[in-house]
Structure 1
């Protein structure tokens, strides 16, 4: 069964406008509060052979030793607390662009050596309406893996790798649901080793697996509530 796509507006202007509509969170009225400005951000989608523990699933098209680096955000953060995410953050004026920002943020959050990362390219910017971020995913290959750990517990509490083949495993794929007032979010999610990857991070992984031809059919009718 093909996965049902999440409620996600591909056009950032439409997405942020919808998030501020009278029917959704962030409602504004004439004379009311002005919406926060949209922030440009970048995340690092870092692939590589990160350890010698292979995947448990035979992904056929995916090497058993291929991993992706993920982090868990601090539960005290204002936006997306406790969620699994890619390392990344806002693009500073001093950054040369999304790629430089993604590498800088990854170094600050995980301690990785950015000189060991080969940037393969960027994906189109995607809107994250809850935090009003326009996020550019930066795809990288870890030529020379370095030691990583949560560098700032105020932002990141865990840094870990997940075998990509285990993400592909249909047994680990679910649809995450979240109800906010009259609106319902339904999006792809990955339940691997007790870790639920959902929201923006799962959306990027879902589309990346599809684009690379690695995805396998999965049952989108199997749902789990998104943790809030």
Structure 2
């Protein structure tokens, strides 16, 4: 079993690690009661039918181990190179989060931004081992340079039947990442954390096909729209860490409308160093 080392987290990650138990509630707070009830019903049905599948994803934060906390906020999404804005303490400007965009050819969640991860193999010694293996296979990241910090509660995703365990990890410098298999991922990027904190990049997104019209938190960046499960997890992490800034939750868009604003050229070359 891969051991967790929460004490290895740098000071700027402590607000998140010290309150990590609050993440599930923060995740559920933005989900309407009827949607939560439907998820619980689907979860129970999958458990009875034996169709649920265990999975894990890696939530990898990178940044300097010893650095003063930075200012919250950031430049507009078209200019990630400028200085952060705001006067509330937050993570240092150099911090980033590892995110992928799934290949359009995949059957499940094609073209969707996601944390690296996947279904557990019988040989995996728990969800941490699954998250590290999948991240290595998808992004080429050197997992020996990563320190697992904590695991979040298992979350059920009804469309796929996955029971997903997010694994929080840290590295002062994980090294280069890349698309290992184009059939699995279209983009692999270390995205500046300030891009997620910046309120100008935040919105709510819903899928027209969903009868409930449930809109969840999303992040509109230059080359990706982060929404769905991943968007909700990141939103909850920002809330719990105290990094979230007030943003316009009345900016609600249909998924295809929001996707139409995603640019194709990469803006994250420097972040993938």
CA deviations 1:103-127 (Å, max 9, x no partner) are 0000000111110000011111111
Where does 1:36-185 land on structure 2 (aligned, <5 Å)? 37-49=51-63, 56-58=83-85, 60=88, 61-180=90-209, 182-185=211-214
Output the CA distance in 1 between the equivalents of 2:164 and 2:172. 24
Shift in CA distance, 129/80, structure 1 to aligned 2, threshold 3 Å: same
Where does 1:24-35 land on structure 2 (aligned, <5 Å)? none
Partner of 1:203: 232
CA deviations 1:151-175 (Å, max 9, x no partner) are 1111111101211112111111100
Shift in CA distance, 18/222, structure 1 to aligned 2, threshold 3 Å: farther
Is the Cα–Cα contact under 8 Å of residues 101 and 224 in structure 2 kept in the other structure? no
Partner of 1:216: 245
Output the CA distance in 1 between the equivalents of 2:240 and 2:252. 23
Deviation at 1:194, TM superposition (A): 4.3
SS at match of 2:215: strand
- The gaps in structure 2 that reach 5 residues or longer are 1-26, 65-79, 260-273
Deviation at 1:139, TM superposition (A): 0.3
Aligned length: 210
SS at match of 2:36: coil
Deviation at 1:219, TM superposition (A): 1.1
Question: Which 4+ runs in 1 deviate beyond 6 A?
Answer: none
Output the CA distance in 2 between the equivalents of 1:35 and 1:222. 39
Output the CA distance in 1 between the equivalents of 2:206 and 2:243. 24
TM-score (norm 2): 0.70
Output the CA distance in 1 between the equivalents of 2:84 and 2:41. 39
Query: What value does the CA root-mean-square deviation take over the aligned residues?
Result: 2.7
Deviation at 1:184, TM superposition (A): 1.9
Output the CA distance in 2 between the equivalents of 1:131 and 1:108. 21
Output the CA distance in 2 between the equivalents of 1:198 and 1:123. 19
- The gaps in structure 1 that reach 5 residues or longer are 20-33
Greater helix proportion: 2
